[in-house]
Amino acid sequence: MYTVLPDSVQVRQSEVNGRGICTKLPVRAGSVIFVTKPYAAALSTPSLSSHCSSCFALSSTSLLRRCTKCRIAHYCDFTCQTQDWAIHKLECTSLQNWFKAAPSSDIAPPSDAVRCLSRVLWRIQKRGADTIQVKKVEISLPDRQSLKPSAYETHTYLSHSLVQYMGLSSPADMAQYSLSSAADLLDTVSRFVTNTFTVTDPTLVPLGAAVSPVVALINHSCDPNAVVVFPRVSPDPKSQEPLMHVVAIRDIYPEEELCSCSILTAYIDATLPTNLRQQSLNEIYNFKCMCHLCTMVEVDPRTCLNCPKNCGGLCPLPSDDHPLVRCAKCNTVVHLVDAALDARRVGQEGLDKASSLQTKDPERSLRLTTNLIPILTSAGFPPSSHPLLGLTRLHQQLLTASFPNPLTQEHLDETIRTATKNVTGLVALLREGHPVLALALTELGKLLAVDEPSPRLADAQNPKVSPKEATPASLATYPPSGLPRLQLAYQTLLRARKMLLVGFGVVNEGGQVGKEVREMIVALEKEIGVFKQGVRNVLEDTRKA
Ligand SMILES: [Zn+2]
Ligand SMILES: [Zn+2]
Ligand SMILES: [Zn+2]
Ligand SMILES: [Zn+2]
């Protein structure tokens, strides 16, 4: 039944996890377990004019062909447009009607969720509701009755938008899509929501929504052994992209008894603390995760404070069972816990606010992150803790987006320090080879390799200090300048490449980013060589003089 699955894996029913995908053969970290094309996919509204609606490739708007009828869909070329036409033909009419019925001319098209769901329905209509693909969607359904009230509301809203967009005003209209009633539509919407994935570009930037019933068969763990990525490595860009690659990020062995052969991906952001992960899983997927992270008794680096004596240990935040906060390593009691909890609350509110302002008012967003990060740091939170990690990540994005022209040393160095804190936080939470960690390292390495606007001469003249031998005094002047900086960039990118090969697949050469990083490493090798030769020449000249 699951035709796209290779022979090495099977769909299995286990008592612990329910239905899931298991491997029959040992899988190495970095192996692509399987590749599949989504059943349907739609670009998010902001990506509609910068990406191809068929293969999701990025292009400049002037190079893309715009659909002359709806003026919404864009394509790389005639081939992509032709490939998408069977479905877009129907979509195009709906889009035109949507704009005709709009109260004002500047109304946005429906959301990617609505457009993706409508594409599912048009495919069902074209193929007939009893095809294998549709059955696959149906079998992974949580039924409507068991939905949380909050989810019910979202799904009802989505159904309404869909009715309006597709013009499903009568039972006869619905019948075209094998829907018997409004309740039936709501069921379809619910199934859709739990089978939806975010399509990302090769740097994990969200591009839109996709539905894949096969990939949705994979069970969840907050500490996954596999990831779903879109590395875009097809030799022919107009082939089947966007393609979903399920990649193992650690070795998986077939062991019948324990069902440790299960392939597991994280449905939600695994860097969030347990209560927030559980909340999302409960609201969207309606289950309680029992993975080892959700049930662990050790200190969670997501919810803890640094040891007040700086012993290197972590102190779990207070709970009803353990109101007293102590260092897990040296047992020192932490005072001022209330102040830390207040700072955490302020940080959480600030993160929500700053995230909502990121595109609308980036300057205000940046002021918020700039003010909040020191508050949480001085309250004793480590870089891996929530919401400090989220604030750091956002701060880095905002700093990168606001590079002044010409770039200043101060702005660049602040961005590098922020990127370093982000990597430090992620290293404590994610496995070696997780694509999120791999990309954070890549960004740090790239920042370190940026030409310094005004390098510190002292560092440049003293090229012997390597990052490994860095003394506390030189850490105060982090990031280093001159040759040590280039060497640090080089080491960081080497480590990033190793992880990209795992996170985006060895056969994919680490995806588009992996290939790009390999070229950067080669260029840096040359640059470091030239730099060393330059210093040697200067020394020779001084000696001669
Ligand atoms: Zn295309
Ligand atoms: Zn069109
Ligand atoms: Zn979990
Ligand atoms: Zn301690």
Q: Tell me: the pLDDT tens digits for 59-82?
A: 888 889 999 999 999 999 999 999
Res 143: pLDDT: 47
CA separation for the pair 172, 126 (Å, rounded): 16
Query: What's the whole-number mean pLDDT along residues 161-189?
Result: 87
End-to-end CA distance of the chain: 81
Measure Cα distances from 65 to 72, 81, 199, 211, 273 in Å: 10, 8, 22, 25, 44
Res 16: pLDDT: 66
Residue type, 247: V
- Containing 54, the helix (H) or strand (E) segment is none
At residue 257 the predicted structure's pLDDT band, cuts being 50, 70 and 90, is low
Residue 142 Cα to ligand 3 middle (Å): 19
- Contacts of residue 60, defined as CB under 8 A and 6 or more positions apart, other chains included, come to 50
Res 234: pLDDT: 76
Q: Are 392 and 316 in contact (CB under 8 A)?
A: no
Percentages helix, strand, coil for the chain, rounded to the nearest 5?
A: 50, 10, 40
- Pairing label, strands 196-200, 304-306: unpaired
Is a pLDDT exceeding 60 seen at residue 463?
no
Residue 303 Cα to ligand 1 middle (Å): 44
Residue 282 Cα to ligand 3 middle (Å): 11
Residue 274 Cα to ligand 4 middle (Å): 23
Closest ligand relative to 65 C-alpha:
1
Res 423: pLDDT: 98
CA separation for the pair 306, 315 (Å, rounded): 6
Say what the alpha-carbon torsion angle 411, 417, 423, 427 is, to the nearest 10 degrees: -170
At residue 314 the predicted structure's pLDDT band, cuts being 50, 70 and 90, is very high
Closest ligand relative to 55 C-alpha:
1
Q: Which residues surround ligand 1, an ion (CB under 5 A)?
A: 52, 54-55, 57, 76, 80
CA separation for the pair 489, 521 (Å, rounded): 9
CA separation for the pair 155, 391 (Å, rounded): 30
Closest ligand relative to 309 C-alpha:
4
Q: Are 506 and 512 in contact (CB under 8 A)?
A: no
Residue 59 Cα to ligand 1 middle (Å): 9
Q: Which residues surround ligand 4, an ion (CB under 5 A)?
A: 307, 311, 313, 327, 329-330, 332
Query: What's the whole-number mean pLDDT along residues 524-535?
Result: 88
Closest ligand relative to 71 C-alpha:
2
DSSP for 369-406 reads HHHHHHHHHHTT--TTSTTHHHHHHHHHHHHHHT--SS
Res 256: pLDDT: 56
Res 380: pLDDT: 94
Summarised one tens digit per residue, pLDDT across range 95-138 is 999 999 888 878 899 999 999 999 999 988 887 655 555 554 55
3-17, 262-276, 447-461, 491-505: segment of lowest average pLDDT = 3-17
Residue 307 Cα to ligand 4 middle (Å): 4
Is a pLDDT exceeding 50 seen at residue 1?
no
Is a pLDDT exceeding 70 seen at residue 28?
yes
Query: What's the whole-number mean pLDDT along residues 399-409?
Result: 96
Structure tokens at 206: 């969200």
Closest ligand relative to 234 C-alpha:
1
Q: Mean pLDDT highest for which of 74-78, 189-193, 396-400?
A: 396-400
Summarised one tens digit per residue, pLDDT across range 359-368 is 999 999 999 9
- Contacts of residue 371, defined as CB under 8 A and 6 or more positions apart, other chains included, come to 350
Res 237: pLDDT: 58
At residue 470 the predicted structure's pLDDT band, cuts being 50, 70 and 90, is very low
Res 150: pLDDT: 76
Residue 16 Cα to ligand 3 middle (Å): 14
Closest ligand relative to 219 C-alpha:
3
Q: Are 120 and 39 in contact (CB under 8 A)?
A: yes
Residue 84 Cα to ligand 1 middle (Å): 9
Is a pLDDT exceeding 60 seen at residue 258?
no
Residue 290 Cα to ligand 3 middle (Å): 5
Q: How far is CA 501 from the centre of its chain?
A: 17
CA separation for the pair 9, 365 (Å, rounded): 46
CA separation for the pair 378, 361 (Å, rounded): 27
Residue 66 Cα to ligand 2 middle (Å): 8
Cβ neighbours, 10 Å, residue 444: 27
Query: What's the whole-number mean pLDDT along residues 436-447?
Result: 98
Closest ligand relative to 70 C-alpha:
2
Summarised one tens digit per residue, pLDDT across range 323-348 is 889 999 999 999 888 999 999 999 99
At residue 146 the predicted structure's pLDDT band, cuts being 50, 70 and 90, is low
Percent of the chain at pLDDT above 90?
65
Residue 86 Cα to ligand 1 middle (Å): 15
Across the chain, mean pLDDT equals 88
Res 103: pLDDT: 83
Residue 326 Cα to ligand 4 middle (Å): 8
Res 542: pLDDT: 74
